[in-house]
Amino acid sequence: MNAYCPECETELDRYTGICPACRWDPLLSTDVRTAKTTMPPEMSLTERYRGTPYDYSLQSEVATHQSSVSKGRVLVIGGLIAGGVLYGIVLSLMGPF
């Protein structure tokens, strides 16, 4: 008779009875039906990583303290405006052809 793992439904090893896929061991585990009902609910990712370097709320707080427009972007836009003004001045000084 073939036995199958209750967790992943893989055929159990004939000699050891341990699942080769998920390493489920019938000697170490409790009844599957009671284990699922007595286990505490799984924590969300937000709760699991709270206070660690991967905490999203810490990253969003740091992002709000930074300026919203970078200095490079301001320099490029200012250069384009200054170039347009300079081009307009040169054209106005040259007069009609």
Beta bridge mates, 11: 4
List per-block mean pLDDT (blocks of 10 residues) for the chain, which spans 97 residues. 78 84 78 55 73 68 62 93 95 81
For 5, counting Cβ atoms within 10 Å of its Cβ (0-12 exposed, 13-18 middle, 19+ buried), the class is: buried
pTM, to two decimals: 0.32
pLDDT at 6: 83
Structural domain spans, the chain = 40-94
Summary count for the chain: helices (H), strands (E): 4, 0
